[in-house]
Amino acid sequence: YSEKGFYILLETLHKMFSQDDYPDERYKPLPWQAAVEEILLPEAAVMLIMQDRNITEDEARHIHVESQVFGLHTHP
């Protein structure tokens, strides 16, 4: 759940969910990139943490938030 993991997950989501298939009009004003980075990526990260650690969603969300805080302090 590092910066490297962020980019790997982001690249994977870009391959899975093409911008060409995104219904811009339906989800206005949320552009495709924002939908991927602000909705899909965090949810996918939480699911991966749940699976990796065999923990609940609440526990995974806590780890996700804590790892973001750690990353901000470690890599300002």
* pLDDT tens-digit readout, 25-72: 777 788 989 999 999 999 999 999 999 999 999 999 999 888 865 555
Please give the model's pTM, rounded to 2 decimal places: 0.77
Q: What is the reported pLDDT for 44?
A: 95
DSSP 27-44: HTT--HHHHIIIIIHHHH
Quick one: pLDDT at residue 36? 92
What pLDDT band is residue 20 in, cutting at 50, 70 and 90? Answer: confident
Domain range enclosing 46: 3-74
What is the maximal distance between C-alpha atoms in the chain? 39
- The count of structural domains within the chain is 1
